[in-house]
Amino acid sequence: MTSLWLIIGYVVLAPLIGGIISGLDRIITARMQGRYGPPVRQAFFDVFKLFEKQNLTVNRFHGYYLVCFLIFIIFSGILFFGGSDLLMVVFAFTVADIFLVLAAYSTNSPYCSIGAERELLQMLAAEPMLLLTAVGFYMVFGSFHVSVIYRAALGGKLPILYLPGVFLGLTYVLTIKFRKSPFDLSTSHHAHQELIKGLTTEFAGPSLALIEIAHWYETVLLLGMVYLFFAFVPIIGVIITLFIYFVEILIDNTNARIKWQLMLESAWLATLVLGGLNLLALYLFAMISKGG
């Protein structure tokens, strides 16, 4: 019954929470740049205004792919907050990104096509660390199921103590998944890159609103993964999770965009060094414990 309420809460409240986070993101970004910034509700105003505009689509597949993108983002969140297999969450999350890429490719726009290629590169850079995160939780708790991990954390088994490297690696690739500078290669929420808006350049009206809502769901899901490391004390988990997002905003406003080659190299290096060595240490500790 608890899982059902969490699922309902995610489906209903994630857009509200994600929209508020997006609004706070704009305000903090503005203050860092010496501006006043829009009100917190501006993100919702923008989406409502987009729904009032004409829905311009290049072809019928354009809209279908976007709907599938939103559905799989929501589905991946339902799996996570419903306590299901973390590997399935990562898989569904990846499928959602693939549909977004297909939607961009279907427009035949050079800006969208280049943005779609860069999105694929960003997936290639970030997905290995997401998979290692799931594997790390399995090595510590003996299960991929989020519900088992959460209950064990509440029972006093602290994930962050066992997986500090995995946590740091996940935090690093979050900048890629949030599409923030220096990794905003495929698209940017601030439209300040050479590709205009990258893979979302040709989207307008309700189609663009669906993408923004999907990003809100996506933000809540990713922050939920961060929270899982600190679930042993819920209030501390929420505070640290919000702090991590603040760090992502700070990074976004203090770093220039890098080339895709450096993104791949740095992300894979973080995955191998931070995540890989952490998992190796867990394996060696398990072997020593069995031998003892």
What does the alpha-carbon distance between residue 162 and residue 152 come to, in Å, rounded to a whole number? 13
Residue 267 confidence (pLDDT): 96
Residue 291 confidence (pLDDT): 67
Of all residues in the chain, the percent with pLDDT exceeding 90 is 68
Region 137-152: mean pLDDT is 94
The domain ranges of the chain are 2-291
Q: How many CB atoms lie within 10 A of CB 41?
A: 12
Residue 210 confidence (pLDDT): 92
What percentage of the chain's residues is helix, strand, coil (to nearest 5)? 75, 0, 25
The pTM for the full model equals 0.93
Q: Label residue 36 by pLDDT band (50, 70, 90).
A: confident
Is residue 14 within 8 Å of 77, Cβ to Cβ?
A: yes
What does the alpha-carbon distance between residue 251 and residue 254 come to, in Å, rounded to a whole number? 5
Residue 145 pairs in a beta bridge with 85
What does the alpha-carbon distance between residue 221 and residue 174 come to, in Å, rounded to a whole number? 11
Q: Which residue has the higher pLDDT, 214 or 255?
A: 214
Please report where in the chains the tokens 């003892």 appear, as a residue.
292
Is the pLDDT at 121 greater than 70? The verdict is yes
Say which range, 223-227, 236-240, 251-255, has the weakest mean pLDDT. Answer: 251-255
Q: Label residue 193 by pLDDT band (50, 70, 90).
A: low
Residue 192 confidence (pLDDT): 54
